[in-house]
Amino acid sequence: MTVLLLIGTAKGLFLARRDRVGDAWQLSVPQFPMTGVYAVGVDTRRATPRLLAAVDSSHFGPSVATSDDLGACWREPDHAPLAFPRDTDTALTRVWALQPGPAAEPDVVWAGTQPSALFRSTNGGLTYELVRSLWEHPHRTAWGEGFGGQAIHTILPHPTDPQRVLVAMSTGGVYRTTDGGASWHPANSGIHVSFLPDPFPEFGQCVHKVARDGADPERLYLQNHHGVYRSDDDGRTWTSIADGLPSDFGFAMVAHPRRGGTAWSFPITADALRFPVENRCRVFRTTDAGKTWTAQAYGLPTAPFYPSVLRDAMCADGGDPVGVYFGSRTGEVFASPDEGGSWALVAAHLPDVLCVRAVRL
């Protein structure tokens, strides 16, 4: 079964494709060369999946492009597809997340931006409008800024209840709506912060990534700026699942798309030491919702490995078994066709990998 892997890098988007396990990956030339591709999305609700790419030119600013022919041609509307309204006196810095909505809303696509804001598209991701209820939240002026900038990087629509959406930002933490976006409430109960006087504030956490369990939509996994957590009540409360990991720091968190309790992470030593734990290239998987974690490194480099894996630079596809993919800041991309059991190189010597997303065709 053909896999199409979108690899967003600091200098353009690469598409890798292979028709079956064992074949060589075919890597495209860079699309949108010399632009940072901070987010990619695949909308599988269409007959031919629609590809979405957030491209950011250091000269000419940010934009969002779409492709309905698997990346052969990309289009962009004449007018900015995503822009802040005039009255906000704010300019878009970049788009950090592109997330198709649930099946019941086939034309809804969400976008998360820097500065921290949520946008919603009702035409399949071609153009977007600011979600004012979150922009006008009284907490907004108190949201902070992480090293990479202040952004909403995670958007998790509830798969069966369109009234519920959860977002996460750095820094600010998790917010959720249960009324279709009319109101938003912080959802950080139990998540620790190390950089504020109050270790358990209502909001202000530097959440790095959240993933929703594939079988139980109430269950979530969260990689914090130190701390790994699980929620069993759609984000209302969080408990630590870090004990079985070699470090509680990291950026990526990916859930199995169907099997409950299964998720992958790429632990980094610490905030102040951003190398993989023991300088070893290892993915960790849990199959019991975080009680235990097991290293998965068969086929990965065995020499000392220093690059980190960014928050969106790991993903899973929808296959059976599930394919898992990750890319490093030194431009290597690895794929596992068997849920992390074995790994092989997809591509090397690319620019810094910022994000990956995979789809089975």
Q: How far is CA 186 from CA 68, 140, 194, 205, 235, in A?
A: 36, 11, 18, 10, 9
Shortest distance, position 282 Cβ to other proteins, whole Å: 30
**Measured between alpha carbons, how far is 170 from 114 in angstroms, rounded to an integer?**
10
Report the candidate in 256, 228, 223, 260 with the shortest Cα–Cα distance to residue 244. Answer: 228
Contact present, 43 and 62 (Cβ < 8 Å): no
User: Which of the 8 DSSP states describes residue 5?
Assistant: E
Which one of 78-86, 96-104, 149-157, 194-202 is the stretch in contact with other proteins (CB under 8 A)? 78-86
Please tell me whether residue 69 binds other proteins under the rule CB under 8 A: yes
Please tell me whether residue 73 binds other proteins under the rule CB under 8 A: yes
User: Using the rule CB under 8 A, which residue among 47, 86, 182, 197 binds other proteins?
Assistant: 86
Please tell me whether residue 129 binds other proteins under the rule CB under 8 A: no
Q: Which of positions 89-118 make contact with other proteins (CB under 8 A)? A: 89-92
**Widest CA span in the chain:** 54
Given the complex with other proteins, which of 26 and 279 has the nearer CB atom? 26
Given the complex with other proteins, which of 33 and 106 has the nearer CB atom? 33
CB atoms within 10 A of CB 159: 14
Given the complex with other proteins, which of 78 and 198 has the nearer CB atom? 78
In a 13 Å sphere around the CA of 100, the CA atoms on its Cβ side amount to 21
Count interface residues toward other proteins (CB under 8 A).
Answer: 30
Q: Which of positions 4-23 make contact with other proteins (CB under 8 A)? A: 4, 15, 17
Q: How far is CA 115 from CA 13, 131, 141, 171, 224, in A?
A: 23, 13, 11, 11, 20
Please tell me whether residue 61 binds other proteins under the rule CB under 8 A: yes
Binding mask 18-57 for other proteins (x = CB under 8 A): --------x-xx---xx----------------------x
Q: Residues in the site for other proteins, rule: CB under 8 A?
A: 4, 15, 17, 26, 28-29, 33-34, 57-61, 63, 69-73, 76, 78-80, 83-84, 86, 89-92
